Structure 1
C-alpha cells in the first residue's frame, strides 16, 4: 500500500529499512501483516536515523530527550547522534543573510567570517562584527531546509497513521506522540522562538537568591536584526566547559574553581526547574561554556522545558519520596502526573517501585545517582502503561545531562 503510492524519498526510506533489517517497519510500509512491533537494537536504530539524513538525526536527538518513551539504552545511544553536516557554501549563506536584513549587509556588518564556527542540519553559525564594533554570532538557517523538513514531516505523519491502526499504536497514542515531535521539528525552523527563549532565560537568571547572577551569562539578542531564518546574538568568547584550562585562573586552585562552578550550575538549574518553571533542556557539555573572564555561559536555547507550579510541587515531593525510599508515595505522585486516564493497578505499581527502590536501601545520598533513579521511575511507569507528559522526559534528561557534566568536570 505504502510502496505502490511511493515517491523517491519514500523509496529511500524503505531501502534503508531493508538494508538494516527492521522487519516490523518493513512489513508495515509494504502493506504486509505487522505483528506486535519491536524496535531494532539501539545501535541499529541510530544507524537507520543517520542513513535517513539530517531531519531524522534531529528526530533522533528529540527522541533522546524522551526517557518517558524509550528505555535507558536507547536514550544513551541516541544521545550520541551528532548534528554535524558539511557547511553550506558562503555564497549561498550570504544570499540568505542579505534577504533577511532590512539594510544592506555592508551597512550592518564590518566583517563576517565566511567560515562557520559550527554547522548543523538546520543552521550554521558565523562570527561577525557590527558597524559599531560589537562582536556577534550569526545563526543562519540552511537554505532550503524548510522544504526538506516539510517533506519528511509528511512522511513521519504517514508512518504514524499506519502504526496508529495497530493495537500498539492505539495503546501508546502514537499519533499524539508524532504530533509532539512534528511541532518540535517545525519550531526548530523559527529562530524568533529561540530568541524569545534566550531572552526569557537571560531575564530569569539575572536575579537570584541562590547564586551570584553575575557569574552566569546568557547571550543578548539583537532583535532589530533577528528574523525567523537569522538569529543575531552577542558573541561569547570561551570554550566548552570540559575543555577549560583552570590552572590557577582567577587566583583559585583548579579544585576550588571546579567545586564553585559545579555548585553554581546546580544552583542555577535548580532555580530554573523548581522556582522559575522554565529550564534549559539540553545542558550537555557543548552547551556550557567557560568564558575568558571566568564566568559560565549557557548557550543554544533551542530546546527549553516548562513546568507549571503543580508539576513543580509534585516533582519536589517525588525527590523527597525517593530519598525516603517511599514506594507508595512514588506511585501516588506518578498517578498525579499521568496524562492518560487508563486504569492502573495501584498495588502492582507500588510493588514495582518497591522492587526498584530496594537496591538503594543501604546507600547514602552521595552514592545515589538521582537521574538514573528517575529514569528507572519512568521505566516503571512505562511498563504499567502510564503515559506521562512530555516535559517529564525533558526534566529527566536535563537532570541526567547536568549530573553527567558534573561527574566529568568535578
Structure 2
C-alpha cells in the first residue's frame, strides 16, 4: 500500500485537529493572543471602552458594563455546565467510585495548596496582594485537555482520565473558594437565595420534569444570588445540582442539557470571557514586570507549585500504598500531565478579577499584573508539559494514514 504524500498527511492531521480535544485549547490560545494584540493596538481605546464603558448608573442595576455582564451573567452558563459535569461524575462517573476518586482528590487538593503556599511566600507580605492567593490554584480543563489532544496516543487513556478528574475536583475547589473567600454576603438576599434553591431541590424530588420550569427557577436564583453578595456564578453550580439525573421516560435530563450546552460554553461563552479579560496593555511594561511580586507569585505558583504539589502527592500516595498508580503509564508521563495542570487561564482570570475588584487605577494595575502572571505561567506550563510528553516518552504513535487515528 502506497504511503500518503506529505501534503495528504498534513491535511488529514489539520482536519482531525478540529475534531479533537485540541481545538478548544487552540481556540483559547488564539483568543488570548487576539485580546493582547487588540489591547496594545490602535483600537485599544475602543476595546477597553466596549467592555468597561458604563451602560447606565450602578444604582439602576448593578451590571452596568459589558464586562460585568460577561463575568456575572454569561459565565453563569460556564459554571452551570461545570455543575452538571460534577453531578454526573459524582453519580455515575469516575468520582462515583470511592477507590477511583481518592487519587485525583488528593492530587487536586495538593495542586491547590502548593501554589497558594508559594504565592504567599513570594507576595503574601506585600500590601494588598494577599487576596490573590487563590489565582494560581485553578486548572483550566479545556486548555489542558487541548494540549493532551495535540499529543494524541502519546498520552495513555488512564492519564487523560486522571487529568480530567483532577481538573473537575479542582473546579469544585475553585467554586468553594469563590463562595467562601470572595463574597460579601447580605443575609436577607442570601436567605431568599437559599429558599429558591430549596424550592428547586423540591421540584426535583417531587418529579417536576419540565426543563422550562428549571430554566425559569435558575434565572430567579441567579438574580437573588447576584444581590446576595455571593458571586452570581455560584447560582449556576447550585442550579445544576438540582437538575434531575433521570427523567420519567428513562432519559437523562441532566445529560441532555449538558450535551446541549457544552458546545455553547466551550466555543462561545469561554472565548468571549477570555477576550474580555485577557486583554492587558503592556504600555510601559518591560520584561522586568514579570519580576514584580504579583505576576512572579502567580506564574511560580502555576508552573512550580502545581506540578510539584500534584506529582509529589501522587508519588507519595502510590509509594505508601494509599492508591494505585494509573495503569499503563510511567512516571515521566505522570510528571508531564502534572505540569499541564499549571495551565490556569479561565478560572485564574476569573479569580483574579474577584481578588482585585474595583475601579481605581491601583486595582486596574493589579488586575493587569495578575493577567501577565496568569498568561505567562499558563504558557510556560503548556509548552513545558507538551515538550515532556512529546519528546521523553517512547509510546508508539497512531498510524497517521488512518483517518480515525488521533492527531499526534
TM-score norm. by structure 1 comes to: 0.28
Tell me which of the two structures has the higher relative contact order, counting C-alpha pairs closer than 8 angstroms and 6 or more residues apart.
Answer: 2
TM-score norm. by structure 2 comes to: 0.28
- Considering fraction of residues, name the structure with more strand: 1
